[in-house]
Amino acid sequence: MATYVKDFSEGDRDQKDLLGGKGANLAEMTRLGLPVPPGFTITTEACRAFMRTGEVPAELRVEVTMALRRLEDALGRQLGDFHEPLLVSVRSGAKFSMPGMMETVLNVGLNDASVQGLAQFSGDERFAWDSYRRLIQMFGRTVLGLEGELFADALDKAKAGRGVTSDVELTADDLRVLVDTFKEIVRTETGKEFPQHPREQLDLAIVAVLQSWGTERARLYRRKERIPDDLGTAVNVCSMVFGNLGPTSGTGVAFTRNPSTGETGDYGDYLVNAQGEDVVAGIRNTLSLADLEEVDPVAYGELRQAMRRLETHYRDLCDIEFTIERGKLWMLQTRVGKRTAPAAFRIACQLVDEHLITMDEALSRVNGAQLSQLLFPQFDADGERTLLTKAMAASPGAAVGMAVFDSVTAQEWAEEGKDVILVRRETNPDDLGGMIAAVGILTARGGKTSHAAVVARGMGRTAVVGAEALDIDMVTRSFTVTGHKVHEGDVIAIDGSTGDVFLGSVPVMPSPVSTYLEEGLDVALASTDDEETRDLVMAVDRILRHADATRRLHVHANADTAEDAARARRLGAEGIGLCRTEHMFLGERRVLVERVVLATQDATRQEALDALLPLQREDFVDLLREMDGLPTTIRLLDPPLHEFLPDFTELSVKVALAEASGNVDEADVQLLAAVTRMHEANPMLGLRGVRLGLVVPGLFALQIRAICEAVAIRRVAGGDPHAEIMVPLVGSVQELRIIREEALGIMAEVGAEHGITLDLPVGVMIELPRAALTADRIAEEAQFFSFGTNDLTQTTWGFSRDDVEGAFFAQYTANGVLSVSPFETIDAKGVGRLVRIAVEEGRATRPDLTIGVCGEHGGDPESIRFFDSVGLDYVSCSPFRVPVARLEAGRASVAGPDTDAR
């Protein structure tokens, strides 16, 4: 028994799996003795049972009855009673916060009888009828699935009929009439009466919340946030307290520190004489907490005390919902608060300085995604600009894009490759798709805790909210502000750190964190007078240095040119994990490569190869000079054959047209013949990598010789080059053996020519399932492994990024097969299993095998944790991602092995 329901007094914050985040924290606050209205939580276990069977478990009804009775006994009131009725709120609360995703019903227990009890009890008839009106409206929309606008229109009509503009101007009688109207709406739309039985209301509300877990928009959100579908939500049934009992009542949201900048001191929004939803929805503009201190210093003092208590207890920024009922503070919710990236770094360091957490903990409180955000450029303060308005900076960053006015258009335009900024009066959960598609979000209403602000911060989108000066006209699809008219498609720019909204495009500048990473702390600090910025830079430096000191994984970079290598080194790369030699065959050299590949005579081929050698050698000399003293892994030619040949279809058309016009160019005809001969139906599965190297004589030998000569030149010049030769697309040890023998021969030759000994490590890209499955054999010949996880993902799944990433991925995300592209985050269960096999079996053959990863996953935070857990020596990523990888590698060390397999 009692697995489906727990009283608030029974749980604690560690029971998030069972009680959801909200329930666990309500229990924790109850335990701490903070003023939480009594109530109980229906556990996620009940939701899972509901999802399995589609029905409410019979045991749940019994347990709810018992819990309700305990609640009634404790408060001495009965649900929906004619006298002093007990009313309850019914709120969802999953393990992970899903803001605005699921349903809430307040004032459950009100009916034609108890509304009078409430009037009596509260001494405020108007309040009672307003509460009843709210119940029917919320219940109608949430539980009965009616259009919200039906009720909103009726409300507007009532106000218009009375010639007033604000809800509070409606009298008790007006509201009584409105309740009848609302009940009529329910009757007309559903064919049934609004349920009068309090327990029936409660049961229906509970079912509505349980069902809200499975809605399309909730699924979409979870997929985006990688929350498993099978967790289920808890349901919190809490005795109602009222923020709308007049001017000494109100409701608010508070943060123990500024979640936008990380500044110390409390921070929040308060709405006098309002119920909870009014704040979160951002429908009315709010007061600050400082205003509250003036309005009700006693309640404010209690709140401050509770906030300090919570922050010390949770040892982190807390986010709180509270209500003041006639001067009495009630805590409705708390959780560790979401924050912007700058705030995350600054708060982590503050908490260390306040001796609340250790540096290791500080490291675990920030993440690579946040660091990435800090690297975004900002608007150039000296650039030309036309300021349209200034509003609330809700989520930092600098976004430039075309204004669009609805979510669907935003998604369509984004799919066409356009940058769009979603402009809305206010956002609601239906706008989620458009918010994901947009580069920035601008709203005319709502505060920093409005839906738009919270969701944008969560997903790292730039957002400016509450721009009241905006007059949005959906008919002409434009907005007007301070004399300017902006149509859909016009470019605007928004600054999520300042709240500025600009007309047209605005030039952007590197972020101070970028400056720090590229040019060092001193330069970055000297570049700004802004204390917040300086504090942020120092926080990043402090945490990143701790990450470097802590991490086990080395971080290398993928860099093809000396310039990229130099940049990577500045950003902290400890080597080059992947130098692709493909780019060295582009431009005017391309024709030489074409000649090598298409040559039918050895002499022609050799001539082209000879011409390429000095060019290649110089590339490598430059690269090795920049990477002096550090490992530099150079991959032999890898890309599909066709990349070096003219396009088959284009050439076919050209020749056909020439033939039709009688102007045949014999060279083209011959070229077409050659290209036809070499044409591949599936170039990704064709002659490439080591296969091309083994089939085209001299190609790999040229590259190996160029590498060896470059090393010799650098050594003779007094340098310390550490070039390593990487063979791509190996599927069998024998392929590597042949190339390795050739390489050893060339090393000996070049060594003899320069009077030195060359002993370059020769290793492989592990990018085919067979390479991973036969890693024990391959390690006999390979001195290092480097996972090419892009190709490995491609072959393990049997789809190529080029071919399936468009429509297919969209479909696959929608139907839940993929929650994230396996090209972005490593597929631990499939591709990752091959990685594990190769690591274990490769090291069994050669215990000192160096193993890294050089696919794009090397820069992905979640993937880096995986690579740390399987014991890789390094990750290699694009130079830009190096700081992120350093941070994530440090976090991985602090967190210990992550063995989650999705």
Answer yes or no: is 791 a known binding residue: yes
Q: Which residue from 803, 824, 840, 900 is in contact with a copy of itself, where contact means CB under 8 A?
A: 803
3-state SS, residue 793: helix
- Count of residues that interact with a copy of itself, criterion CB under 8 A: 57
Q: Which residue from 770, 790, 813, 898 is in contact with a copy of itself, where contact means CB under 8 A?
A: 770
3-state SS, residue 762: strand
Nearer to a copy of itself, 394 or 772 (CB): 772
Residue 715 in contact with a copy of itself, rule: CB under 8 A: no
Q: Are 278 and 114 in contact (CB under 8 A)?
A: no
Answer yes or no: is 635 a known binding residue: yes
The CA distance from 202 to 75, in Å, is 18
CB of 675 to a copy of itself, least distance (A): 11
The CA distance from 342 to 539, in Å, is 9
Nearer to a copy of itself, 31 or 691 (CB): 691
Residue 673 in contact with a copy of itself, rule: CB under 8 A: no
For residue 749, the surrounding DSSP H or E stretch is helix 733-754
Q: Which residue from 417, 807, 847, 848 is in contact with a copy of itself, where contact means CB under 8 A?
A: 807
CB of 459 to a copy of itself, least distance (A): 24
CB of 695 to a copy of itself, least distance (A): 5
Nearer to a copy of itself, 253 or 729 (CB): 729
Residue type, 638: D
Which residues, 6+ apart, have CB-to-CB distance to 718 below 8 Å? Answer: none
Q: Are 36 and 10 in contact (CB under 8 A)?
A: no
Q: Which residue from 1, 475, 660, 667 is in contact with a copy of itself, where contact means CB under 8 A?
A: 660
Nearer to a copy of itself, 474 or 685 (CB): 685
Q: Which residue from 381, 815, 847, 848 is in contact with a copy of itself, where contact means CB under 8 A?
A: 815
- Residue 719: closest CA among 624, 595, 841, 611: 624
Answer yes or no: is 790 a known binding residue: yes
Q: Report residue 233 as tokens.
A: 């939500």
Q: Are 619 and 703 in contact (CB under 8 A)?
A: no
- Select the span of 96-104, 252-260, 474-482, 829-837 touching a copy of itself (CB under 8 A): 829-837
Q: Which residue from 160, 474, 653, 844 is in contact with a copy of itself, where contact means CB under 8 A?
A: 653
CB of 691 to a copy of itself, least distance (A): 6
Residue 781 backbone zone (phi > 0: left; psi -120 to 50: alpha; other: beta): alpha
Residue 656 in contact with a copy of itself, rule: CB under 8 A: yes
Residue 57 in contact with a copy of itself, rule: CB under 8 A: no
Positive or negative torsion for Cα 114, 115, 120, 122: positive
Nearer to a copy of itself, 129 or 787 (CB): 787
For the chain, how are helix, strand and coil distributed in percent, rounded to 5?
50, 15, 30
3-state SS, residue 231: coil
Q: Report residue 749 as tokens.
A: 């030759």
CB of 870 to a copy of itself, least distance (A): 15
The CA distance from 823 to 398, in Å, is 27
- Select the span of 98-106, 123-131, 182-190, 727-735 touching a copy of itself (CB under 8 A): 727-735
Distances (CA, A) of 186 to 114, 129, 153, 338: 19, 17, 14, 38
CB of 369 to a copy of itself, least distance (A): 25
Q: Are 139 and 121 in contact (CB under 8 A)?
A: no
Nearer to a copy of itself, 166 or 649 (CB): 649
Residue 829 in contact with a copy of itself, rule: CB under 8 A: yes
Nearer to a copy of itself, 562 or 773 (CB): 773
CB of 901 to a copy of itself, least distance (A): 10
Q: Which residue from 148, 301, 816, 896 is in contact with a copy of itself, where contact means CB under 8 A?
A: 816
Q: Where are the beta strands (DSSP E) in 256-339?
A: 267-272, 287-288, 318-325, 328-336
Complete edge-to-edge strand list for the sheet that includes strand 88-94: 5-7, 39-42, 233-239, 88-94, 104-108
Determine whether 451 is an active site residue.
yes
Q: Which residue from 2, 152, 408, 657 is in contact with a copy of itself, where contact means CB under 8 A?
A: 657
Q: Which residue from 421, 743, 834, 835 is in contact with a copy of itself, where contact means CB under 8 A?
A: 834
- Select the span of 38-46, 137-145, 649-657, 891-899 touching a copy of itself (CB under 8 A): 649-657
Residue 796 in contact with a copy of itself, rule: CB under 8 A: yes
Residue 795 in contact with a copy of itself, rule: CB under 8 A: yes
Q: Which residue from 27, 106, 422, 768 is in contact with a copy of itself, where contact means CB under 8 A?
A: 768
- Residue 821: closest CA among 830, 835, 809: 809
Residue 773 in contact with a copy of itself, rule: CB under 8 A: yes
Q: Are 898 and 866 in contact (CB under 8 A)?
A: yes
CB of 43 to a copy of itself, least distance (A): 26
φ, ψ (nearest 5 deg) of residue 266 = -80, 170
Nearer to a copy of itself, 503 or 738 (CB): 738
Q: Which residue from 111, 261, 774, 876 is in contact with a copy of itself, where contact means CB under 8 A?
A: 774
- Positions 674 through 713 that interact with a copy of itself (CB under 8 A): 680-687, 691, 694-695
Q: Are 550 and 896 in contact (CB under 8 A)?
A: no
φ, ψ (nearest 5 deg) of residue 414 = -65, -40
DSSP for 657-702 reads HHHHHT---HHHHHHHHHHHHH--S-GGGSS-THHHHHHSTTHHHH
CB of 737 to a copy of itself, least distance (A): 9
Which of 642, 854, 857, 877 is labelled catalytic? 854
The DSSP 8-state label assigned to residue 406 in this structure reads S
What count of other Cβ atoms lies within 10 Å of the Cβ of residue 417? 6
Nearer to a copy of itself, 152 or 657 (CB): 657
CB of 13 to a copy of itself, least distance (A): 33
In this structure, the strands spanning 392-395 and 484-487 are: unpaired
Nearer to a copy of itself, 254 or 675 (CB): 675
3-state SS, residue 902: coil
Which of 47, 238, 451, 546 is labelled catalytic? 451
Q: Which residue from 791, 862, 873, 888 is in contact with a copy of itself, where contact means CB under 8 A?
A: 791
Q: Are 751 and 712 in contact (CB under 8 A)?
A: yes
Answer yes or no: is 789 a known binding residue: yes
DSSP for 424-478 reads ESS--GGGHHHHHH-SEEEESS--TTSHHHHHHHHHT-EEEE--TT-EEETTTTE
φ, ψ (nearest 5 deg) of residue 404 = -135, 155
Q: Are 885 and 368 in contact (CB under 8 A)?
A: yes
- Select the span of 206-214, 602-610, 754-762, 803-811 touching a copy of itself (CB under 8 A): 803-811
Residue 734 in contact with a copy of itself, rule: CB under 8 A: yes
- Select the span of 143-151, 251-259, 426-434, 734-742 touching a copy of itself (CB under 8 A): 734-742
Residue 860 in contact with a copy of itself, rule: CB under 8 A: no
Residue 579 in contact with a copy of itself, rule: CB under 8 A: no
Answer yes or no: is 788 a known binding residue: yes
- Give Cα 511 distance to the centre of its chain: 20
Q: Which residue from 82, 96, 121, 648 is in contact with a copy of itself, where contact means CB under 8 A?
A: 648
Please state the residue numbers annotated as binding site for Mg(2+): 767, 791
Give the residues lining the site for a copy of itself (CB under 8 A). Answer: 648-649, 652-653, 656-657, 660-661, 680-687, 691, 694-695, 729, 731-732, 734-735, 738, 767-770, 773-774, 777, 791, 794-800, 802-804, 807-808, 811-812, 815-818, 827, 829-831, 833-834
- As annotated, the active-site residues are 451, 854
| Residue list for the binding site | 580, 635, 767, 788-791
Q: Binding site for substrate: which residues?
A: 580, 635, 767, 788-791
